[in-house]
Each structure stands twice: as C-alpha cells, then as structure tokens.
C-alpha cells in the first residue's frame, strides 16, 4: 500500500488539531501531522517539559503547559491525546464536552468503568473517538484482514499471533505499566478481534518470568502463551515475549476452512548473502516506530479522514473496552490458572 | 542431509528382518528395506490379506499369514511390527521373549499399563525396542534439534508446533483411532519432547469439531490448540487440524534467550511464477509418505544401525510411554477444561 | 534503513532550494523537500504550466514561469533541475556561474561534449553537482554495495542486474527519449559501476522489439541483454524489458570469490495465502515512485547534506559522463553487432 | 513430484540392462537400477578396474572387463554407456548394430561428425537412443518447462540460467574435459533448448579465468557469460562459474509476455535461524548427485519406460547434436570475440 499522503498531497481542506503530550508517541503524531498528513495541521501542542517545548518550537508549533488550553482553543477541532494513561479518560471527557473530536492513544483506560464513562461522554456529545490501535493500519495486517473479510480463507478455525518485543522495558516502567496484558498484549487482543471479525469469549493464559525473574516482584511476567475462544468458534493463540534478541517479531496467521493466510515480518532489506557458511538475511525491523511507520501514518490519516468525511470511527470506544476487558481477564486467568469468560469482566 | 543409503550402498553385513503387517505403513517399510536400507534384508513378511501376499511375492518376499511364524523364524533377527495398535504390545512381548529386536509403529499402546509391560519384556530380554516416531528423523527437525542441543537458541522459552493433516480420516477410522490426541497429536507430543530435550509437565487443551460436527458423536474433535508446560520452564503450543485444504502443514519454531529457529514446510518444488495477478508458489508436500520420505528411510536405517552397532535405541519405550501419557492427559484436559499434570497419568 | 528524516526532524540549519520543472519528478522532489527533508526548504519553483502553479501554490510555494528567476533568486542556494533533458546542461551551467549548487535529474545529457562542458562550469565555479541516480540510495542496493565494499563477497566475478519496467512508455515519448539505453538502462549502467566499484571497459548488446514492433520505427528496442566488461575483470550482464506484466522488477546479484549477495524485489506486503490451488504472494511494488520512495528521499537528503556539510557529491559529473558513455556504446553495439570499448566514446 | 519408483514398485515386466563403465556416474546408474527402477534389472556390468568389480559383486552384479561382452550378452536388451566420452559413439554404434537400446552419458561426442554417425546407426537399426541430460528431469525444471509449454508465461522473451559448480575440477581433468562449454555448459545449452522449446540460432561469449589463471594454459576459462539468440526471438543468458564457494548454484528464470517463472535452488533443509546478528539459512545442496538425485532416477526411469512402452526417446541424438554444436560455437565465439551462428557448425 502506498503512503496515503500522496493522494492528498496538495489538498486544501484541513483538520485543525491540538496535541496533548509530546513524549515519544506525541512527537511521532506531531511529525506525522506536520509532514505526512496533508489534510491536517497543528494549532497548538501541550506538554509539561521545557525540552518538549523547545523541540516543538523549532518545528514552528505553538506550545503551552496546559492541556486545558489545547482542549479549549477556539481553533482546535480535534485533540490528539498522548498523555499518560490515567489522563486519557479525563481529557477525552473534557474534549467531548467541548465538542472536540478525539484521537486517544491506547489503552483508553485499564478499568471498564472509566472506559464506559468516556464512551458515554463521546456518544452524548456526538464527537468522534478513535483509539490509536495503529497496527490495524499496517499493510500486512490490512491485507490479511481483507482476505478474511472477503471469505478467502473460509470460516476461521485457528488464529496465531506472534508478538515479541526486542527488549524488555526498564523495571521502573514495568511497575506502572499495568502489566504485560494491558501494556503489550492489548495490541494483540485488538488484532485478534480485528482479524477474525469476532468477539473474544474466553481466555486462558500460561506465562512465566523467563527473561528476568525480578519482574515477578511486580506480579508481572515476561513470557506468555494466551489461548482465546471466539464467539464464531475459532480458537486463537498469542505468544508474547518481552525480549526477542533478533528484533521486533510481529507475525500472524489465520487458518480456515478454505485456506490460510500469514503475515511475515518486515525486514531491514531484501538482500540475501551466501558464503561457505550459509545464507544470511536481514533481521526484522527492530524499532516499533520504524516497523509501524506506515501504520502510524495510515492510522492518523484515517482519524483525520473519518472526521472530515464524517464517517464512523474505525476504532471506537467499544473496541477499547473489549481490548481492556480481555487484558483484565488474562490477568485473572494467570493468577487463578483457569479459563476466564469475558462476560465475567463486563 | 543426503539419503543415508548411499553411505551403505554396497555393505555386506545385513540385519535379517521380518515384517508383521503389510498395510500402507508395512509396505513402506518393506520397500525401504528392499530398496533403501542396504544393510538390511527381509526374510519373511506376514499379513492376513491375500492381496498383500500377492504384492510381497512380486517383490520376491516370502509370506505367511502368521505373525507368530515371523517372530519364530530362525533366520529373523529383528521384527518390524506394523499390525493394528492393540497387537503392538503382544507382538513386542512375544518377539522380546524370542530374543528378537523390535521396531514397532506408534503408538506402542494407548494405556500406560500395556506400555510398561512391553518395556519390562524388552528390558528383561535385553533386546532393542525402537518406536516409529519417524518425524524425529526428518532433515528439518533434525536441524532444529541440533541447533537447540548446541545452545544456538539459548534457553528455550516458547515452542510452537503446527501440525495439520490435509484431510480428515473416514469416520469409521475415527471411531477406533483412539482420538485426535493418541492418533495424530501423539507425533507432536513426541516432537515437543525431542526438540526441547525436556519432559512435559502439564497440558491444557482447547478444541472443537469445526470441520465435521459428526466427529463429536465419537467424543472426538478435529481442531485443537494444546498448551504444554515443560520441566525446564519453557511453554509449548501445538495447533492441530484434521483438514488443511492446502496440504500437509508441518512446521515448528523454537524461541529462546539467544534467538529463534523455525522449520518451514517442504514444498512440491522451488518454482515461483508471477503474472499480473500475483506470485504463485508450490504447496507443501501433500502426502505424508512423500513429506516424510527421507524421515521414514532415516528412521528405519537408524533402527538397523542401532541393532548392528549395538547402540541405544534412539526412540525407546520410555519415549512411547511419555507420548501416550501426554495424549491421555490431553483428553482429560479437554473433557474437564483444566490443566492436567502428566504425573496424574503415570 | 530508517527514513533519514527522523534524524533531522527538528533541525534549524536549512538549505534554501529552488526547483526548476514541476512535472512528475519535480513534484516528487518538491514534496520531499516540503515534508521529508527537514534541513531544506523551498524558496521558489518554476514551470511553464498553469496547472503546476496551482498545485505548488496550494502547498504554499511561490512560483514563476522563469527558470532564470529561480537560478537568479538571491535567497536560493541550490537549484533542483527537473526540466527536460536538453535543458539540463544549460541550466546547470547557468546555476554554476551564479554560484548555486546543482541537483540535476538524470541523464545530465546524451552527449559527451555537453556533459564535459557542465563538468567544467561546475569545477570552475566550485559548486556541488549531484545527479539524480536515486537507485544508489535504495536500502537494498546500499546493502549490497556495502557488502561488496567490505570484501564480503571477495573479488567480484559476475554481476547480474534485472531491470524491467511494468509498462512501456507511449510511442510519442519513445521517439524523444534517447532510446532504451539512455532513458532506461542508464540507471543500470550507473548501478553496475556503483556496485562493483569498477569502471566499465566494454559493452555488448543483444536486443529486439519483442513487445511492440512499432518501436523499431524509432530505431529503438524494448528487450535487451547487455554484457559489460569491467576494468577489474568482472563480467556483468543486464537484462532489460519495457514490460513486465507482474510489476516493476528491480533485482541484482553480485557473485565473487568469497560468496554471493542478491537483492530481491520489494513487495506490496509480506503476506502469503495458501489454498488448494497453491501459494499466492504479493507482486513487486509496481510504481517506480513507490518502489524507490526511500531512495528518492535518501537521494535528495544526501544532496542537501553534502552541501550543508561541504562533502564531495556522492554522484558527480564523472558518474554522469560514464553512464552516458556506456549508453552511447550500447547503441553502437546494437547497430554494429560487436563489442564496443568505452574509450571509443570518450 | 514423488519418486517415480513408488508407482512401479511391484511391477513384473522388467528391462534387462547392461552397464558399461563403473566410475562415479556408472555406479549411480547401477544403484538406481538396483534400488530405484523397479521395472529394470542388471544382467552384467563392465569396467577395467578391479575395484569396480569388487563393488559390483558385493551388490550381486556379474561383471566383465569387456564392454563388447556387455553389448553382445544375449540377455541384455539395453546398454547404459558410462565410459569415457571418446568411447560413447563407438559403443553406441556397436550396441545399435547388435539391436540393443542405448542410454548414453552426455556429451554423446564433441564433434558433429561422430554424433551424426551414431545417429545414423541408431536410426538404421531402429533402437532407442537416450542421452543422460538428467537435469531435464529435475522437478523444478520440469515445472518451469510445463508452465512455459502451457503458455503460462506467454511468449518467452528472456531466459536466464545460473549454473555454477561448487569447486573446479582438477587441472588434469580440465586438460581432457573438452573445455567449460562441452564439459559443463553443455547441460545449460540443453536446458536452454528444453525450457524455451526453441532452437538456438547464435551464441556470444564473454569469459575469463578469474578463479585460477592456470586454466588458461589449457585454452580454457572458468567464468563465462553466454548470450543465446533463439529462433523464436527470445534472448538467453547463461552465467557459469567453476567455483561458487556457497555450493552448487542451479537456478533459472524465464520471462515472457504474460509473466515470469523462476526455479530457485534446493537447499539442505528449510530451517531459518535468527539471532542478534541476522537470519541464517541453509546452503544450496552442494553435491550434484544429491542435488539431482531425483533427476537421475527420473531420467533413467524415463529411458526404461520409453523402451518398455515403445515411446520416442525424450532426449535423442538430435538433442545431443545441438547441445554439442552450441558448445563448439561458444568456443569459437570466445576465441574470435564475435557472435557465432549455429549453422556455421552443422
């Protein structure tokens, strides 16, 4: 799939956005609006750090320390929330009440109640809410989804997702991350629902701390195999690891009554070298921002387009609710060593 | 890996064998001894069917209707048991008592007690017993095992096996097959132990009849995801289907602290065609006798070599016991929807 | 290789450029400067077409009908020449005399004399000249070159380049294109010199009009096999076609005393689908702007960096001269059915 | 493609053969008849070496020092000639006159006159003559040929053959080998005619001694790029090297008006390993007897079948004539540095 940008290159109608939070992800969205989303522009961005202000100013972007100022700015039509997770719902509700559309980073929240309150505010104020499950917009996964949706693999029977990070986060981060299920596997839970087009009914987890035993002190694990039951009868299995020394391993496969489709990794290049010792090829792209470069662009572009063209949000509050609910159920399954039904959570 | 035959092509020392059972697998072993195992020969073969006798006679092989005659034949040093599963243990014991070495098709039996009685007879009579877990001798899986054994992937964390048949067996066969775990997945249970070099500690199954609901009438399923806990801490996952429309899908992957190794399918050829609709490549080899052609030859060759060179059996009664025990545990897990420890079975 | 942009995202020092010619390639460079080259900006762009002016104005770029105005503009430090080929040298000389650095699309010219006059002007005025042989900056070819340069394949013995367009240009274009060697294969001639790090000594061509016989009326061909002799002793072979129905086929392979390295095509995605008919995979990226998206960005970025950091031009007038000389020699070889030495041309 | 053997496993009708020459290739054919060609058997084999007799006797094969005895043996219906090349034609003629069918190793001879005399004898005596161009029977190349023959790639425009040996032969062998074109590339000349289904019209060679300059003392080379013109208009290019350090490199690709088909190498296994340094895969099968194991079996089987079923020889004297003629023309092209027409040779 081509960069969506080229289709819009010199468009005149533009969505006016404000960005809340200029950490790593906030800067990515900022750069994508500036350089890769021709029908969007930035009015103002907020962050509490002075360094972030410097960076934004060099790119010609006005800044403030106040998220409220971004939400309340009269020229801002949509806010892009990249603040820490506990602030996602409060800012979403405030923006909705100010009649601003919202793009919010995942997860929307780690509790069902909070997500439902955001969902309520968005519905009542008739604004769009889109969650940043960017992987849905990756060309490989888009292709697999389109094959499944077109019936090319028949009834889905087995879904396999391999999702392994190149390196574990610092232990300080682990402590506040919400755990492997709500921090890392949540992407895979969303992907499982997206690819199969079916809700998850129950979840079973087997996991351990095989990379770094200290992670257990925070009641967390670093290696997991997660079995999902879907409402359409399919069975899913996700394998997660916090440390794949060969890079960021992001593959999936769906097997059904008429065939199978699998997405392999994107690699640094397509060169193979042979000498007397063997064949050597490139590793999977290591850094998530590089691996999902197009996904991030396509994702933000989809938000901008859904607002401008008044289409339904491609990833809405219900999607956020379900991904979080599966994550909560996975945590219970690990602790109680049993299959947990999603309806126990909702 | 080259066909082992060429190394032995004109050897003079030969193991004298008798074959019991000339069904599909029996005929394969017969042909392998005749044409591909230079240091073995056939003295006599038994079967109850007249057609089988005709076939064997055209190949110049003497025949009888009596398995006992094969076992008791003074020129026979080793018997190759390809009779129905319930006869595996009785014939193994009879052969051991007659001081004949035994190659027996899998599974040795579907009960722990029977396997232990065969194990006892073999040990007491100091003969070799090798089980026909041929897949261990496939060049791809041999290579993965050798990488794991050499420490190339570090400590194993996750093992994934995909094992899907091209088409389900007839329902009449299903009825007497012992079920998907003891008939089909038993190969994967053996492979899991072989690749990781570790015993399986517990098993959890999620499965269903997604291909043909009638299979449920026989308390069986056709689609399964099986999670294994290993004694070395690794977590394994097997996905099985009785019907992959694109062929016989036999892959595995082992992920560890230092890297990952995966075995892809063998395909009909290595040709790729491109036209304006896409790229087209060959399917996985469809027929198990073709897919595992070298594995069958190498497997029988290993038996013959272990007898002639008086080496330990590469796949012994303990291996048969453990594979069956995992299969029994898997059945309990499916019925009782819980993780089952292998020690509950033994 | 990551998009170079991210490394420079918020840089303050910027090269001030003017663009001459806003056709397809001109618009690509314009968009790359606007959105993907943070340390460059556009002062003014020229084109004779009113439509081009509209497009540029929507992107906020000042325009003129006069190339001279771009060259003479006091704020312009470097010009990017995307005008028709016959104007390349005149504009390059004018810019050099105005002490402006020059990025010029390939080919610099189709005659040796003209190229040498541009080379002279550039040298005398001590400005940079870089030619738009963008493919050198493609991540695959960069990787192969780096392997060769590091000695990983040993002494190069055989170079193979496959370069096939997805569709032939209109016959009207063919008429004025300079022929397949100076219009299309010139990229491959430059690549041959780049990958081997050696000058081409002689060339032999076998070619024909196999796709559309009408192309012969313009003394041109659409299918060619070109054999190159290199000064370091290596032998090269290029195969060209104007029409590969499966897409834009851009591969190369270098074989040497210590091994081999090959660059495969980039594909639309990394998804493979299997059904009962076979395996199906994505086609090579079809459109050259998409296939070489990163190459175009990296190429322009390299020009900007070489000016800002005062480094030698990575693709200079000598490179342009040699590529054109090989193209001219190839034309003679086709007409005279003999090996033509490059020194016959220079 | 499955081993053809299984289809014939217990057939009763058998072709009675005699083998002349028990060198490396002779022993391969001997083993294939004994173990892999169920509808053939060996009556007698000849060789001048005592060691060869020992080997054959251990396999239960009667031997003689006299090729004439094999040809004249009343029970022999077909001879398999694996003697040195200068003896191919004399033995073929003698066998034909004795009304014996002939399978003869390639090349039939290195001169046109000799080949024509063998052709005459075979025709007059109405026996089959098949040449051992075994590669035609390799599953990959069979598949490409069938795609071309079925029109799947349209009109062939470009044929590419890569044929590189893992190691050069000893210089003593080079001296008597007939040179790279008649010893090594002759397989590729036959393949070029087979894949395209068209006669070669002319040939141009560029080659050198890049691996070992001493080979030049014998007027030979070790590296070549060969351009072929076909009667159907297609253009072919073969690249040969006597030494690919990574193994036996045997690939080809045919490009046409409707698409492209390419045969990749067969590898030692289908395992890929990833660690922090990159991906590692198996090398191409190194040894020609292993790489072409199935091709050798299928080839001999085809000869046996063509005799038993009285079908035309799949590779006849004309095929031998043309391959040799192209080889002779290639030698002239190298010496005279010009395109040589095949009709200059015939």
pLDDT tens-digit series, residues C54-101: 878 877 899 999 999 999 999 999 999 999 999 999 999 999 999 999
| Rounded Cα distance, C7 and A216, in Å | 37
Q: What backbone torsions phi and psi does residue D9 show, to the nearest 5 degrees? A: -50, -45
Chain D residue numbers touching A275 (CB-CB < 8 A): 245-246
Q: What residue of C is the nearest CA neighbor of D167?
A: C257
CA dihedral D66, D72, D78, D79 (to 10 degrees): 20
Q: Which chains touch A (3 or more CB pairs under 8 A)?
A: B, C, D
Q: Phi and psi dihedrals of D230, rounded to 5? A: -105, 155
The mean pLDDT of C1-26, rounded to a whole number, is 69
pLDDT of the residue at A5: 39
D neighbours by CB contacts (3+ pairs under 8 Å): A, B, C
Q: Would you call B280 and C275 a contact, using CB atoms and an 8 Å cutoff?
A: no
How high is the pLDDT of residue D325? 98
What is the distance between the alpha carbons of residues D297 and B5, in angstroms, rounded to a whole number? Answer: 14
Q: Which residue, among A147, A154, A135, A132, has the nearest Cα to A80 in the 3D structure? A: A132
| Interface of chain C toward chain D, CB-CB under 8 angstroms | 155, 157-158, 160, 162, 164, 204, 206-208, 210-211, 223-225, 227, 229, 233-237, 239, 241, 243-246, 249, 255, 257-260, 337-339
B and C: number of Cβ contacts within 8 A:
47
Least Cα distance to B321 among B79, B122, B68, B83 occurs for: B122
Residue D146 pLDDT level (bands cut at 50, 70, 90) = very high
Q: What pLDDT, in 10s, does the model give residues C241-268?
A: 999 999 999 999 999 999 999 999 999 9
Tell whether the model's pLDDT for residue A7 goes beyond 70.
Answer: no
Question: Chain B contacts of A210, Cβ < 8 Å?
Answer: 155, 157, 233-234, 257
β partners of residue C261: A273, C254
Which pLDDT belongs to residue C298?
96
Instruction: Tell me whether residues D1 and B268 touch, CB distance under 8 A.
Output: yes
Question: What residue in C sits closest to B283 (Cα-Cα)?
Answer: C278
D158–C206 CB contact, under 8 Å: no
For residue D145, give both structure tokens: 């040929």
CB contact under 8 A, C272 and A261: yes
Buried b (16+ CB within 10 A) or exposed e, B155-185: ebbbbbbbbbbbebeeeeebeebbbbbbbbb
Q: Please report the pLDDT score of residue D10 as a whole number.
A: 45
Task: Give the nearest partner residue to D206 out of C223, C227, C255, using CB atoms.
Answer: C227
Pick out chain B residues at pLDDT < 70.
Answer: 1-12
Residue environment code for D194-224, b if the CB has 16+ CB neighbours within 10 A, otherwise e: bbbebebebbbbbbbbbbeeebeeeebbbbb
Cβ atoms of D282 and A279 closer than 8 Å: yes
Q: What is the pLDDT of residue C176?
A: 83
Question: Closest to D35 (Cβ–Cβ): which among B1, B35, B265?
Answer: B35
Tell me the chain A residues in contact with residue C272 when contact means C-beta distances shorter than 8 Å.
261-262, 264
pLDDT band of residue A12 (cuts 50, 70, 90) is: low
> D-chain residues within 8 Å CB-CB of C258?
245
pLDDT for the residue numbered C12: 55
Tell me if B274 and D260 make a contact (CB, 8 A cut-off): yes
**In terms of CA atoms, which chain B residue is nearest residue A234?**
B210
CA-closest candidate to residue D320, choices D179, D138, D129, D135: D129
Specify the pairing of strand B223-230 against strand B200-208.
antiparallel
* Tokens representing residue C97 in the block: 């005399």
Distances (CA, A) of B255 to A165, C16, C259, C326, D60: 13, 51, 29, 51, 50
Tokens (6 digits) for D205: 């060679």
CA-to-CA dists, residue C61 to A23, A58, C51, C57, angstroms: 31, 20, 13, 5
Query: Per the structure block, which two tokens stand in for B116?
Result: 């232990």
Q: In Å, how far are A238, A293, A330, D37 from A106, measured between CA atoms?
A: 19, 17, 17, 65
Taking CA–CA distances from A277, the nearest residue in chain D reads D246
pLDDT tens sequence across D57-83? 877 899 999 999 999 999 999 999 999
Q: Which of B149, B144, B97, B121 is nearest to B264 (CA)?
A: B144
Statement: residue A259 has pLDDT above 60? yes
SS3 D31: helix
The pLDDT of residue B175 is: 85
The whole-angstrom distance between C214's CA and the closest CA on chain A is 34
D95-104 pLDDT, tens digit each: 999 999 999 9
Provide the pLDDT for residue A55.
78
Residue C296 is predicted with a pLDDT of 96
pLDDT at B12 (0 to 100) = 55
Rg of chain D taking only CA atoms, in angstroms: 20
Chain A residue with minimum CA distance to B239: A158
Tokens of C271: 């998804």
**Cα–Cα distance measured from residue A105 to residue A131, given in angstroms and rounded to the nearest whole number:** 6
Would you say residue C195 has pLDDT above 80? yes
Min Cα distance C139 → chain A (Å) is: 6
Decide: helix, strand or coil at residue D281.
strand
Could you say which of D6, D266, D272 has the minimum Cβ distance to residue B270? D266
Chain C residues in contact with B265 by the CB 8 A cut-off are none
From chain B, the residues in CB contact with C246 under 8 A are 274-276, 278-279
Cβ separation A239–B158 shorter than 8 A: yes
Q: What is the pLDDT of residue D12?
A: 55
- CA of D59 to nearest chain B CA: how many angstroms apart? 6
* Selected residue with higher pLDDT from A39 and B6: A39
Prior bond to C238 cis, omega within 30? Answer: no
Closest partner residue to D241 (CB to CB) among C157, C211, C223 is C157
Helix (H, G, I), strand (E, B) or coil at B59: coil
Give the mean pLDDT of A11-28: 88
Q: pTM for this one?
A: 0.93
**pLDDT over 90 at A336, yes or no:** yes
- Residue A315 has a pLDDT of 98
Radius of gyration of chain A from its Cα atoms, rounded to whole angstroms: 20
Q: What is the pLDDT of residues A101-133, one digit of tens each?
A: 999 999 999 999 999 999 999 999 999 999 999
Token digits of residue D240: 């040969």
pLDDT of D194 strictly over 90: yes
A50 pLDDT above the threshold of 80: yes
A–B CB contacts, 8 A cutoff, strictly below: 96
DSSP per residue, D176-209: HTTHHHHHTTHHHHHHHHHHHTS-EEEEEEEEE-
Window from B234-248, C308-322, D37-51 with minimum mean pLDDT: D37-51
Interface test with A, best of B153, B162, B210, B280 (most A CBs within 10 A): B210
Q: How many CB pairs under 8 A join A and D?
A: 47
Tens of pLDDT along D1-43? Answer: 233 344 444 445 799 999 999 998 999 999 899 878 889 999 9
Percent share of chain A, pLDDT over 70: 97
Closest-CA residue of A relative to C261 is A273
Chain C nearest-CA residue for B243: C276
Q: Supply the Cα-derived Rg of chain B in whole angstroms.
A: 20
Q: Which of D205, D203, D186 is nearest to D315 (CA)?
A: D186
Q: What is the mean pLDDT of residues D247-274?
A: 97
Instruction: For residues D161-182, give the mean pLDDT.
Output: 92
pLDDT computed for residue A4 by the predictor: 33
ipTM, two decimals, is 0.93
Contacts of C279 (CB under 8 A, 6+ apart): B246, B267, B279, B280, B281, B282, B283, C272, C273
DSSP C243-256: --TT--EEEEEEEE
Average pLDDT on C217-231 reads 97
Q: Which of B74, B73, B106, B75 is nearest to B89 (CA)?
A: B106
Cβ contact (<8 Å) for D245 and C227? Answer: no
Contact B237 A235 (CB under 8 A): no
CA distance C145 to chain B (A): 27
> d(Cα D96, Cα C330) in Å, to the nearest integer?
51
Contact C1 A153 (CB under 8 A): no
Instruction: Select from C274, C275, C282 the Cβ nearest to the Cβ of B279.
Output: C282
Show residues of chain D in contact with B272, CB under 8 Å: 261-262, 264
Asked whether the predicted pLDDT for residue D110 surpasses 90, the reply is: yes
């Amino acid at each position: 799939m081509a960069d969506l940008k080229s289709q819009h290159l010199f468009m005149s109608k533009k969505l006016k956005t404000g960005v809340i939070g200029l950490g790593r992800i906030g800067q990515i969205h900022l750069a994508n609006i500036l350089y890769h989303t021709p029908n969007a522009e930035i009015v103002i961005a907020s962050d509490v750090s002075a360094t972030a202000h410097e960076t934004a100013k060099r790119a010609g972007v006005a800044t403030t320390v106040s998220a409220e100022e971004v939400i309340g700015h009269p020229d801002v039509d949509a806010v892009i929330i990249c603040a820490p997770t506990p602030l996602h719902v409060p800012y979403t509700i405030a923006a909705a009440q100010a009649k601003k559309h919202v793009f919010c980073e995942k997860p929307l929240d780690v509790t069902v109640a909070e997500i439902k309150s955001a969902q309520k505010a968005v519905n009542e104020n008739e604004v769009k809410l889109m969650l940043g499950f960017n992987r849905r917009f990756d060309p490989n996964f888009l292709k697999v989804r389109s094959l499944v949706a077109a019936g090319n693999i028949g009834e889905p029977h087995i879904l396999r997702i391999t999702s392994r990070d190149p390196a574990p986060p610092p232990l300080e981060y682990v402590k506040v991350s919400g755990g492997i299920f709500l921090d890392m596997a949540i992407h895979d839970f969303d992907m499982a629902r997206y690819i199969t087009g079916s809700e998850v009914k129950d979840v079973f987890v087997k996991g351990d701390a095989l990379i770094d035993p200290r992670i257990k002190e925070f009641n967390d694990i670093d290696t997991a195999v997660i079995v999902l039951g879907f409402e359409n009868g399919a069975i899913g299995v996700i394998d997660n690891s916090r440390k794949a020394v060969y890079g960021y391993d992001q593959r999936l496969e769906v097997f059904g009554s008429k065939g199978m489709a699998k997405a392999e990794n994107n690699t640094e290049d397509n060169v193979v070298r042979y000498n007397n010792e063997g064949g050597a090829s490139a590793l999977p792209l290591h850094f998530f921002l590089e691996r999902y470069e197009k996904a991030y662009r396509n994702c933000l572009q989809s938000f901008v387009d859904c607002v401008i063209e008044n289409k339904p949000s491609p990833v809405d509050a219900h999607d956020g609710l379900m991904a979080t609910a599966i994550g909560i159920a996975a945590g219970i399954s690990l602790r109680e060593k049993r299959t947990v039904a999603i309806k126990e959570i909702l």
